[in-house]
Each structure stands twice: as structure tokens, then as C-alpha cells.
Structure 1
Amino acid sequence: MKKMWGGRFSKKTDLLTDDFNSSISFDQRLYKQDVLGSIAHARMLGKQNIIDPKESELIISTLLDILEDIEAGKVEFSVAMEDIHMNVEAILTERIGEVGKKLHTGRSRNDQVATDMRLYVKDISQDIKGLMSELITTLLDLADEHTKTIMPGYTHLQRAQPITFSHHLMAYVEMFKRDMIRMQQVYAMSDTLPLGSGALATTTYPLDRESVALELGFAAVSLNSLDGVSDRDFCIDFLEAAAVFMMHLSRFSEEIILWCTSEFNFVTLDDAFSTGSSIMPQKKNPDIAELVRGKTGRVYGDLLGFLTTMKGIPLAYNKDMQEDKEPVFDAYDTISICAITFTKMVKTMTVNKAVMVKAAAGGFSNATDAADWLVKHGVAFRNAHEIIGKLVFYALDHQKSLDELTLAEYHSVSPVFDDTIYQAIDLNVCVNQRNIIGGPAEEQVKKAIAFNREWLNQC
């Protein structure tokens, strides 16, 4: 098949060159963005009388037919045509002859592919934002059910202070909210039209770039043609946002993996989102959470790989930039399936409330509250810290919790104690006295849940 750029060449490219150079195997997923971009370009060419308006209408109607045929699976793409852009143009020319060859007037594949990718990244950033919203909604619903479910909060993976499971979940809500904001920023960074930049220096044709931007839904038109064709920051922005989102999913996955162990037993995953062992019949493995954790490295690789590709490219377009598509496609596919599956896994898991509260009681998580009780009774904090440290040492030696110690045992360390200490170290009191913004008290968590539901409605 004759190359559309073959006029300058005296011999055919090697088949290996065709295979190596071609991107149609993966960039065919840009077909919709490419056709819509071409329709807007053709409409503008007709309005500007750069081509005959009737020819513009024929090109547009045929492109719409081609789009319909592609979506119906009636189109077979050719490796010889290299990419989705050349394939669509070749099909167009095959159907309407010489008129089809006029579509490419006033544009280059350089600004065409940059436009397609921006349209694509805008689309997928909104898709992912929607999946993040579903995940947050699931966590808010679960948090609503567990505002009274006491669990230990951890530092250094050691039991530290009592909180609620609801409060713990809301920490991840905050992370995923930031991820949604990043995806909105990705959309904004992609929302500039490069079409009209040409290969690198625009064109002598009187293009109306603003009308094309309006039709395609872009907020602005690029102001420098060199940057217009060579900018892939928006792809990097998407990959970076994807990597951070996966990092958050991975952190959550790690906790779920721990919570599923018999050592923790805080949650039980639904059978539909667990797997077994080929040799050990008793096993129930958290493979979904483990795969999410593992696939995080894959998305990191997409980001780092493309950053490395871009670091040494001079202005303007270079073939290296063809490498923008696969990492973006892969990251999108990966975070999509991870977000969908993770959300369903969390929605269906069982929370073992009794185990959680027992862990909070058994790990001296109320020790800080005991020290605060002493401070409120006139003991300097450092002295209070030492007194409670001694009590914890004593309790460990006698295999007791702080609330199981007798008042006489408390007095053996400090005469300041009276029987109100027991109320102060009650886990529910410990949690609900932390009634300030951002705290684990039921009142504050319920306010946070309501605030975040409204926040989602505004997004």
C-alpha cells in the first residue's frame, strides 16, 4: 500500500520498519477523538472557504459514517497506514476519492495527534474522577455505619490511641478527595487546543482555531505552535495523578491485607472477592488487595518511563513522543479496574466490631487519656507521662489492662488517683472527648461525613 508521505522516497520501507514504526495496534483506541477532531477541522475549512463548503459537508458526513462503522466493528485497520490518523484518512479517501485528500489541508499529524491525546486525556480524567467519586461514596456509607465502632489507631504499626473505624475510613476519604482534585487539574491542563500549530510553525491558511476549539469543547487555544505540538505535560500530569491514586489504594490495600490475617481479624472479605490456595484447603487469600498493591508499581513504571522518554527531546515534535500513548492507556486501564474492583471489595467486606474494640482495650490505647486525667488534676505532664508509663509496665507484668487495675494498684504508683479515672479511660469517653474538628468523636465524624457528601455533590 502506498504511503501518504511516499512522494519523496524511491523505495518501499522494510516490513520490519512498518511494524516498528506503526502504532495502530494501540492507538486505534483514539478513533473517536480522531474522527471528531477531523470533523471539526473539516467544518472550519469549509466555513473559511479553504476548501469548497460542499466538499466539507461530504467529508463530515463520510467521517460520521466511518465512525459508525468503526464502532460497529466493520473496519479493519492497516499496519501499512501506521496510525489511527492515517487509517481514518485512507478510509475516507477510499470512499470519496480526491475530496478525501483535502481533509489534511492546514494541519499536520503533529498537531492532529496532540489534539487527539488531549481529547482522550480529558475524557479519561473525567471517567476516573467518576470512579473515585463512587469509591468515596462507598467509604462514606461504610463510615456512616461505624461511627460507634471502636478500634485502635496506630503509629509505627503499634496500638496508640482509640479511634473509630469510621474515623479511620474518613482518612482515606480525604486522600481520595485530593485524587479527585488532581484529576480535575489534569482535565484543566489538557483543555487547550493545539490543532492549527501545524508541524511546528502553523500554516499560511486562514484557519479559525477558536471555532475548532469551541466545537471540540476546549477552553483555550495554544499560543505557541512549537509548544503546541511538543507538549506532553498533560500526559505526565495524568500519569502522576494516577500514580498517587494507586499509592493511596495500595496503602489501603496493605491495611486490609493485615486486617484479614488471623492476627488482626478486623475484617472478613466476601468470598466473591477472595481466592483460595491450590494446596492448602483452609486458605482464604486477599488477592484483590494484593494485586492492587502490586499494580501500583506498574503505574509508577508508566510515569517514570514516560518522564524518561521526554527528558531529552528537543523542540518540536520527535517520533519518541509516540511513546506517550501506551503508558497513558496502560495507566488508565490499570487504575480503572483497580478502582472498580477495590470499591466492590470494600463494599462487601464484613467488619468484626468486637475484635476491633477488644484490640483497642488490650493495647493500652487509653494510656494518653490516663495521663491527661492526671494533668487535669494538677500533675505536670512529664510527671504524668512517667506515672502512666510505670502503671503500664505494672499492668503488663500482671497481664491486666488499665481499666482492670484496682484503685489500690493505681495508688501504689500515685496517690492522686480517685475512682473517676475509670470513666476517663473508658474507650467511648476517650474517643468522644476528642470533639474538635478533625477528631474521632462521633459528632465530628458525622459532620465530616455530611460535609463530604455535599462536597461530592458540588464536584
Structure 2
Amino acid sequence: MTDRTGSAPLSGRVGGSPSALWHEEVLGPHFRYEATNLLPWYVVIEKVLAAEYARLGVVTDAEARELGQALHGADAEALVADPSANMSDITFALERYVEQRLTRPVPSWHVDRSRNDLQATAQLMFGRQELSRVAGMLGDFGEAVRRLAESSRETPMPGHTHFQAAQIISPGFYLAAVSEQVLHTQRRFLSTYDGLDACPLGSGAMAGQELDWDRDRMARLLGFRRAQPVALTGVASRGWVAEVTAEMGILGVALSRFATDLLTWGSSEFGFIDLPDELCGISSAMPQKKNFPVLERIRGRTAHLSTYHLDAVLGQRNTPYTNLVEVGKEAGANLATAYGTLRSVLRLFTEVVERLTFRADRMRAACEREYLGGFALANDLTLREGVPWRRAQVVAGAYIVAAMEAGLSPDKPDPELLRRVAGERGFTLTDPGAALNAVVDVDAGLRRPASAGSADPDATAAVLRDQEAEYGRLRKEWELRAARVGGGLTETDRLLGIGR
């Protein structure tokens, strides 16, 4: 279709078209990026602007409707980066596209307008949508973790501190901690979303606009909770990119730690977990090996999330606080990639969690061969026998050392050895056998803790019930925000008469 405006220049200041190099290296790739990620938002923003022009009386209702109908058909296939026709700029390309489809020119269209706040709004709407999307995936991951925790909260396993076996816990108890981290991040994502939920549209180039735009109405139609109060902030700030990537980076750190534990538990030395063959790898040289490369991929990809945050921060650092290509485009160049990386991590990790099995026999055997009841033994020496706490720690430790030197396993307690060790340190025990029960029974050891939030299966069950309710609450909060966005966009189409 021939552009009725021909090759009319887009600026009176610059007469030439972008060079081939400038187009190939910068403008063309960025055009494709925006066509993929931002074009739908440019379209809905332009629809809201058309409705606002009609309210202002700058265009007629019929002209606004025709603008809206033309915009409604714009998609990535319809727009092409053309240095001579649109300077390889997607907003100019969209403008040309609409103009070609009008029955007659609308001279007032785009009066009192700037690309600065248009671009800032489209970027923010993309960022907001993608944040909501990854939050939903994170919720799915967390709920999968919570379900696995519920099914494994009564299975004993050794818990480690400082890389040493320390106390008896359960996979369910550990996974409850993973789930708690997910909920924490979900709440932070929600807070971040609400913090960035201020519409830049109407900020103009930097100082506001000359017509009396109803910025609150435009914000509502675009699904924002409010308009950005200060015009300069609307076009100068991309702090929200740094905030979003910061939260993703922090989450990535936590997920990497969880993946590290699974890698350890899946090693031949531990053998606590297993995955189905279709999620595993082989060694080309050592046929006896069953590797878990999916966990290595997950952990490796979490590192990228921190990198993308650093990229966003350095891209903005030491720049003037105003609208800049450097800040508005280069500093956020990896935002879509960051979102895509987190989505990949969550998809992979959710699949791992849903298909992972724990080897209860291996975990129990590890509990039985380690003296994991030392803390409980010291407690009993104090509470049953009256040995001062710090001295009880000494007695318990000395007994464990003596028992190991004598070749005694934890399930073969020696009350007389404990009596002798205590006597050597000035304490006479009345019933050493009762105190030693703490180091013998693995299942009892799992249930010994009585405090809320402990590894006791009942305490873990209580935590998991609360978490289930919190997942439901957060899901509803995200649905409310999605409904606000969808409702605003639907109302805009209604105002323009699109579809009628």
C-alpha cells in the first residue's frame, strides 16, 4: 500500500535518513525488539490517546473511532523498519500504518504529543505484564514445592550445618523453607508491582503537556492504579527496571542454593534423591553414572539473573536524570531476556520438583550412622540429671567421641560408658540409659522439637497449611491486578466503538 504522505520528512531539523550501518547495528534490531515486546502496548496506548483526543474535542468521535479501528489491526507483521519512510522507529511506523488506513487525514492526531512518555509507558506496561506472568509461575513452583513437602514431612533425613550432619529433619521441613522463600518473593514481587503501577502517559517530553489531558482517566484506562505525579519522573526514571531485576536476582540466589542441595543429595555419596531418566544425563566415558544436568542448568541460569540486574544498574549509573536513549533503551535492553531466563528456571525447577522422589532408605541409613542426637543428649543431661548446660555439652561430646573410638554405632548405646564419662567430669548420673534414648530412635528424634516452625512433622504440617492459605491469597491479589488491566483495555475499545 502506498503511503499517501509519500516520503514527507519526520523532522525539519534532520533531513537525511538513518545510514545503513546505523539501521543495521542499532535501529533495526531495536525495532524488532519493540515489535516483539512493546507493539501491543503501543497500540493500546494509542487507543487511549485517541479516546482522550475525543474527550478534549481535538478530534471528533468519528475520527477517534476510525483511529481506533486502524490501530486495532496493527501487528508485528504489518510494520517494517524502513529508514527512509519511518526512520526505523516503531512509533513512526505505527503512525504511518494508521495514516494509510484513514479515509481522510486527521490533522490534529498526535498534537501536543511526545514519544518520550509513549515509550516509557509501553516499556512499563510490558514490565508490569511480565512481572505478573513470572509471579504466577513462581506461585505454581511454590505450590508444587509445598505439595512435595506435605508428602515427605514424616521422612527422616540428616540436616547439615557447616557441611556436617547436624540434626534430624525431614525433606518436608526443608521444602517448607523453600516454599517460605517463594512466598516471601511473591510478596516482594507484589510490592514491586504496586510501586511501579504509576502511569507516565501525559508526562510529555519531560515538562508535561499543554492541553488539559485527563491523566488519571488515561491511567485508569491503561489499567494503572494512578498517574505518575511528576512529569519528569515519568520519562526520566527507569528505576523500576533495576527494582524488578534486583528481585529476580535475589530470587536467583536463593534458587541456586536450593539447587546446590539437590545436587549434593543426588550425588553417589548421598543418594537421597532420584529423577526419572528423561530428566537425567549420562557420561560418554563412565557408563555407571547417572547425572542430573537439569539441576546444573537451573543453577547456572540463576547466575544470569544477577548479571541482568547489574547490567540495568550500570546502564543508569552516572546518567543525567532526564529522558535518555541510554537509560530508556540500552539500560533495559536485557529486561526481556531476564524475564525469559526466570521463566525458564521456574519451568525447569517446577518439573524437577513434581517428578523428584526421595529415597527414604538411604536417608534413614544416614541418620542411623551419625550421632545426630548430641544436642538432645545434652538437653536431657541437664533436664533429667541436673548437669549444668555447658558442662552437659562437654559430657555429651565426650561420650560420642568415646563411643566412636570404641566402634559403637548410635543404635548401640552404652549407658555405663556415659556414666563413666560423666563421672570423670564430676557428675553422677542416676539413669544414663534414659538420657541415651535421645541418640537412638531416629523417628523420635524427628519429633523431639516442640517449638512452632520446627522439624516436628506436626509443626511442619501447620506451617504448610498456613502457606497454602497464603498462596491462595496472593493468587487473588494478582488476579485483581490483572482484572484492572483487562477492564481498562476493554473500556477503551468500548469508548472507541471498536467491534461495533
TM range (shorter): over 0.9
Alpha-carbon distance between aligned partners in 1 of 2:211 and 2:404, rounded to the nearest angstrom: 84
- 19, 24, 35: which one pairs with 2:24? 19
Q: CA deviation at 1:304?
A: 0.5
* Paired residues for 1:54-73 under 5 Å: 54-67=62-75, 70=76
* Residue 369 of structure 1: aligned partner: 376
* Paired residues for 1:107-146 under 5 Å: 107-146=113-152
CA contact (8 A) 2:265 2:272 kept: yes
* Residue 411 of structure 1: aligned partner: 419
Q: CA deviation at 1:79?
A: 5.3
* Residue 456 of structure 1: aligned partner: 471
* Residue 80 of structure 2: aligned partner: 77
- 360, 364, 375: which one pairs with 1:357? 364
CA gap of 1:12–1:32, structure 2 versus 1, over 3 A, is closer
Structure 2 residue identity aligned to 1:449? L
* Residue 240 of structure 1: aligned partner: 246
Q: CA deviation at 1:436?
A: 1.3
CA contact (8 A) 1:151 1:360 kept: yes
CA gap of 1:444–1:5, structure 2 versus 1, over 3 A, is same
* Residue 8 of structure 1: aligned partner: 13
1:325-365 Cα shifts (integer Å, max 9, x gaps): 42210110000011011111111011011111221222211
Which segment drifts farther, 339-348 or 50-59?
Answer: 50-59
Q: CA deviation at 1:2?
A: 4.9
CA contact (8 A) 1:269 1:350 kept: yes
* Residue 176 of structure 1: aligned partner: 182
Look up the SS of the partner of 1:152 in the other structure: strand
Alpha-carbon distance between aligned partners in 2 of 1:87 and 1:339, rounded to the nearest angstrom: 36
Alpha-carbon distance between aligned partners in 2 of 1:180 and 1:98, rounded to the nearest angstrom: 50
Structure 1 residue identity aligned to 2:266? C
Q: CA deviation at 1:136?
A: 1.1
- 177, 187, 195: which one pairs with 2:193? 187
Which segment drifts farther, 111-120 or 18-27?
Answer: 18-27
* Residue 481 of structure 2: aligned partner: none
* Residue 40 of structure 1: aligned partner: 48
- 391, 394, 398: which one pairs with 1:390? 398
Quick check: 1:250 aligned with 2:265?
A: no
CA gap of 1:97–1:287, structure 2 versus 1, over 3 A, is farther
CA contact (8 A) 2:79 2:94 kept: no
Structure 1 residue identity aligned to 2:334? P
1:127-176 Cα shifts (integer Å, max 9, x gaps): 11111111111111111111211111111111111111111111111111
Alpha-carbon distance between aligned partners in 1 of 2:191 and 2:82, rounded to the nearest angstrom: 35
Alpha-carbon distance between aligned partners in 2 of 1:102 and 1:328, rounded to the nearest angstrom: 35
CA contact (8 A) 1:50 1:205 kept: no
Alpha-carbon distance between aligned partners in 1 of 2:50 and 2:217, rounded to the nearest angstrom: 11
Q: CA deviation at 1:118?
A: 1.3
Q: CA deviation at 1:398?
A: 2.8
Counting matched residue pairs gives 454
Which segment drifts farther, 305-314 or 268-277?
Answer: 268-277
Alpha-carbon distance between aligned partners in 1 of 2:283 and 2:379, rounded to the nearest angstrom: 49
1:171-191 Cα shifts (integer Å, max 9, x gaps): 111111111112112211221
Quick check: 1:443 aligned with 2:446?
A: no
> Structure 2 regions of 5+ residues with no counterpart?
1-5, 423-427, 475-500
% identity of equivalent residues = 23
- 415, 438, 450: which one pairs with 1:424? 438
TM-score, length basis structure 2: 0.87
TM-score, length basis structure 1: 0.94
Which segment drifts farther, 45-54 or 112-121?
Answer: 45-54
Structure 2 residue identity aligned to 1:20? E
Q: CA deviation at 1:311?
A: 1.0
Alpha-carbon distance between aligned partners in 2 of 1:107 and 1:283, rounded to the nearest angstrom: 64
CA contact (8 A) 1:111 1:198 kept: yes
Alpha-carbon distance between aligned partners in 2 of 1:89 and 1:458, rounded to the nearest angstrom: 43
Q: CA deviation at 1:77?
A: 2.7
Alpha-carbon distance between aligned partners in 2 of 1:46 and 1:400, rounded to the nearest angstrom: 88
Structure 2 residue identity aligned to 1:107? R
Calculate the aligned-residue CA RMSD, in Å. 1.9
Quick check: 1:341 aligned with 2:344?
A: no
Alpha-carbon distance between aligned partners in 1 of 2:159 and 2:12, rounded to the nearest angstrom: 70
1:42-79 Cα shifts (integer Å, max 9, x gaps): 11111111222221111111111224xx4xxx425315
Quick check: 1:326 aligned with 2:346?
A: no
CA gap of 1:301–1:99, structure 2 versus 1, over 3 A, is farther
CA contact (8 A) 2:156 2:364 kept: yes
Q: CA deviation at 1:117?
A: 1.4
Look up the SS of the partner of 2:100 in the other structure: helix
CA contact (8 A) 1:30 1:84 kept: no
Q: CA deviation at 1:406?
A: 2.1
Quick check: 1:90 aligned with 2:96?
A: yes
By relative contact order (CA 8 Å, sep 6+), the higher-ranking structure is 2
Which segment drifts farther, 278-287 or 318-327?
Answer: 278-287
Look up the SS of the partner of 2:17 in the other structure: coil
Alpha-carbon distance between aligned partners in 1 of 2:72 and 2:395, rounded to the nearest angstrom: 79
Quick check: 1:212 aligned with 2:227?
A: no
Alpha-carbon distance between aligned partners in 1 of 2:109 and 2:448, rounded to the nearest angstrom: 70
CA contact (8 A) 1:19 1:79 kept: no
Quick check: 1:293 aligned with 2:299?
A: yes
Look up the SS of the partner of 1:298 in the other structure: helix
- 251, 256, 265: which one pairs with 1:259? 265
Alpha-carbon distance between aligned partners in 1 of 2:153 and 2:113, rounded to the nearest angstrom: 59
* Residue 478 of structure 2: aligned partner: none
Alpha-carbon distance between aligned partners in 2 of 1:104 and 1:266, rounded to the nearest angstrom: 64
Structure 2 residue identity aligned to 1:396? M
Look up the SS of the partner of 1:277 in the other structure: coil
> Structure 1 regions of 5+ residues with no counterpart?
none
CA gap of 1:2–1:378, structure 2 versus 1, over 3 A, is farther
CA gap of 1:402–1:387, structure 2 versus 1, over 3 A, is farther
